[in-house]
Amino acid sequence: MSYAIVGFGKIGQALARAFARKNIDVTVASRRPPEALAPQAQAIGPTVVARSLREALEADTIILAVPFGEHREVAKALPNWRGKTVIDAMNALVPPEELDGLPSSAFVAKAFTGAKLVKGFNHLIAATLAADPVVEGGHRVVFLSSDDDDATAPVAALAKQLGFAPVKLGKLNEGGALVHARGRVWGQLIFQDLFRKEQ
């Protein structure tokens, strides 16, 4: 399984740190050329490699960590997303009417034709996400939701590999609504920094 993080702001870098901590290879890309990202990527760890967006999108699993308004540009980079898992780590700070009344991830899924889309890694602030998720015998919780049941299991496995405790919330418009931000309305679980004792 190969992984890429698209977007190398605070959240993208926080996730890159999680991969580096476990020595898992991950490609990082953004609108900026790879050579602009390379110094920061190398500073995070040797398993974090900056590449072009086109190269990053060759990965099996792509984590979207771009500002919400840029997801359509990323989606246009491939004619079809079949066979790819897209993890939506974004929060939509736009009015609900701009999302056609959908949860933000369901709206995002429309742009990524053929992809399996999972909402995840979006409910914590970057500094918390970047910190070691194992504390006093507990694992920091990350919430996952998807309309595709098969898509959640490999993302949960990745979350565990990174040291997190994945909690599945079910479909995007059901449990997933607890971790969605739309406009100024934040799901009840956003920013909840929870731990689970056993893995």
Domain ranges of the chain: 3-197
What local confidence, expressed as pLDDT, does residue 190 receive?
Answer: 75
Q: Which residue has better confidence, 95 or 119?
A: 119
Structure tokens belonging to residue 85:
């898992």
* Residue pLDDT, tens place only, 131-184: 999 988 899 999 999 999 899 999 999 999 999 999 999 999 888 888 876 666
DSSP class of residue 17? H
Beta carbons within 10 angstroms of residue 34's beta carbon: 19
Here the tokens at position 185 are 């309305």
Backbone torsions φ then ψ of 65, nearest 5 degrees: -130, 30
Q: What is the pLDDT of residues 102-118, one digit of tens each?
A: 888 999 999 999 999 99
Pick the CATH number of 3-197 from 3.40.50.1820, 3.30.1540.20, 3.40.30.10, 3.40.50.720: 3.40.50.720
Percent of the chain surpassing pLDDT 70: 96
**Contact criterion met (CB below 8 Å) for 37 and 50:** yes
pLDDT of 185 strictly over 90: no
Whether the full predicted model's pTM is greater than 0.85, yes or no, is yes
pLDDT at 73: 95
